[in-house]
Amino acid sequence: DVKVTQSSRYLVKRTGEKVFLECVQDMDHENMFWYRQDPGLGLRLIYFSYDVKMKEKGDIPEGYSVSREKKERFSLILESASTNQTSMYLCASSSGGGGSYEQYFGPGTRLTVT
Amino acid sequence: KQEVTQIPAALSVPEGENLVLNCSFTDSAIYNLQWFRQDPGKGLTSLLLIQSSQREQTSGRLNASLDKSSGRSTLYIAASQPGDSATYLCAVKAGTALIFGKGTTLSVSS
């Protein structure tokens, strides 16, 4: 079974702090994704990566950066956390190549910025 | 720009009823469509994946259909149970990432 794990289920941070969210997958997937989910807005793509050290902006990249130094690990970084970044963050992975591959999601990290 | 809509936003049914959840999308140029289940405060669990060349997929009591030309998919749940209560999301894959609908929250009462 594909497994996608996220470093924390719940996280509380203060405004202005630098925040790291980590995601690890164990299926040698090329693609990894970070989404955020908010009530009424649904899931929105922040960033994705299709290879080590490669990244692409999604729909809402402002205020975020990412890092992918190893194939299995994809980190989301909030350089200076703000209250409007309070949200549920979901990581996903999929095989690369053609476009037909299934995405697998982690359990999510509920981040609260106070 | 691809948009995904799910109707209804919420649905309540008694246990044992068969039900249909609807998903529509605006651009038929998709690779696949995925149905997910999400329990409160949890991540997404993939239920069914339909490739663009397929018409339907089945898993247990779930059956998903895809009509690409009309931009529609349905998720049929047979003999619903209280354990089916959750939010159901559909998502289409047109590029590398998924585009999601906002979900249908299903409540099955015993």
pLDDT tens across A67-93, in order? 999 999 999 999 999 999 999 999 999
pLDDT (average), residues A1-21: 93
The yes-or-no verdict on residue A2 having pLDDT over 80 is: no
User: CB-CB: which of B44, B97, B102 is closest to A90?
Assistant: B44
pLDDT (average), residues A12-38: 96
The yes-or-no verdict on residue A9 having pLDDT over 70 is: yes
By C-alpha distance, the chain A residue nearest B94 is A99
Report residue A99's pLDDT band, with 50, 70 and 90 as the boundaries: low
Residues making up chain B, counted from first to last: 110
User: CB-CB: which of A56, A103, A108 is closest to B98?
Assistant: A103
pLDDT tens digit at each of 110 positions of chain B = 899 999 999 999 999 999 999 999 999 999 899 999 999 988 999 999 999 999 999 999 999 999 999 999 999 999 999 999 999 999 998 887 889 999 999 999 99
pLDDT of residue B99: 93
Report residue A101's pLDDT band, with 50, 70 and 90 as the boundaries: confident
Tokens read off for A64: 């975020």
Share of chain A above pLDDT 70, in %: 95
Q: Please state which of the ranges A20-24, A30-34, A77-81, B91-95 shows the lowest mean pLDDT.
A: B91-95
The yes-or-no verdict on residue A102 having pLDDT over 90 is: no
**B51 and A31 in contact by Cβ < 8 A?**
no
**B34 and A98 in contact by Cβ < 8 A?**
no
The yes-or-no verdict on residue A60 having pLDDT over 80 is: yes
The three-point CA angle A32-B97-B45 to 5° equals 75
Note whether A49 and A55 are within 8 A (CB): yes
pLDDT of residue B97: 81
Q: How far is A80 from chain B (nearest CA, A)?
A: 25
Q: What residues contact B23, with CB distance under 8 A and at least 6 apart? A: B4, B5, B6, B33, B35, B72, B73, B74, B75, B90, B101
